[in-house]
């Protein structure tokens, strides 16, 4: 039997819902604000985390993540710390476009992305490998800075996916198989020799069937 190790708990939260079209890539670092449902999701997350002895809240600098973190830190009586490393993957010249528009304007790039989705980098953007390197720097920082404690990280779907893939040693090629709904929480306990996924994409009040 494995001996239970002391661990540091990271609770990754994906920002709440927005009205941005699902088939269009977010624009820049800021992007849209939360919609009514997103604000409700953020409020529920704050209630859900109350009493959990959270030591810190780290947040991506985007409007939608800060809006999600605001009711959380209010309930926890903490201040959030903005971390640029927690931003969503940058898509460069593809940002703001639908996939149909990308197909029309950049057919070669789209074809290369489909054949190599983790290494292909749109002009002025990032690859999934680049994103994983960025998240790989923030996770050890959080574990070292808040060793043995619980912290909340409010970020985006991409960073949560690659963090889970890395923690569980899932091939990065399979990162898109991980579904992270808006307004959900994913908990990973990082021990000395192993990381344990405690829950994935949990929604306060219950996930839909």
CB neighbour list of residue 116: distance below 8 Å, 6 or more residues apart: none
Both structure tokens of 34 = 């939360």
Please choose, from the candidates 142, 145, 152, 180, the residue with its C-alpha nearest in 3D space to the C-alpha of residue 59: 152
Give every CB contact of residue 88 below 8 A, 6+ residues apart in sequence: 26, 60, 62, 155, 156, 157, 158, 159
Residues taking part in catalysis: 15, 88
């Amino acid at each position: 039997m494995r001996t239970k190790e002391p661990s540091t708990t990271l609770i990754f939260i994906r920002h709440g819902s927005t009205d941005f079209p699902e088939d269009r890539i977010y624009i820049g670092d800021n992007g849209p604000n939360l919609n009514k449902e997103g604000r409700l999701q953020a409020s529920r997350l704050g209630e859900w985390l109350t009493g959990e002895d959270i030591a810190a809240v780290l947040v991506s600098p985007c409007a939608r993540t800060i809006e999600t973190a605001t009711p959380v830190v209010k309930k926890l009586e903490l201040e959030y710390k903005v971390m640029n490393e927690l931003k969503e993957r940058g898509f460069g010249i593809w940002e703001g476009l639908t996939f149909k528009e990308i197909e029309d304007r950049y057919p070669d790039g789209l074809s290369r992305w489909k054949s190599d989705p983790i290494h292909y980098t749109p002009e002025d953007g990032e690859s999934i490998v680049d994103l994983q390197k960025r998240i790989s720097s923030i996770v050890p920082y959080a574990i070292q800075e808040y060793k043995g404690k619980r912290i909340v990280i409010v970020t985006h779907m991409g960073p949560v996916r690659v963090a889970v893939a890395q923690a569980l040693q899932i091939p990065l090629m399979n990162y898109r198989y991980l579904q992270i709904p808006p307004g959900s929480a994913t908990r990973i306990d990082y021990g000395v020799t192993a990381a344990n996924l405690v829950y994935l994409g949990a929604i306060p009040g219950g996930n839909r069937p």
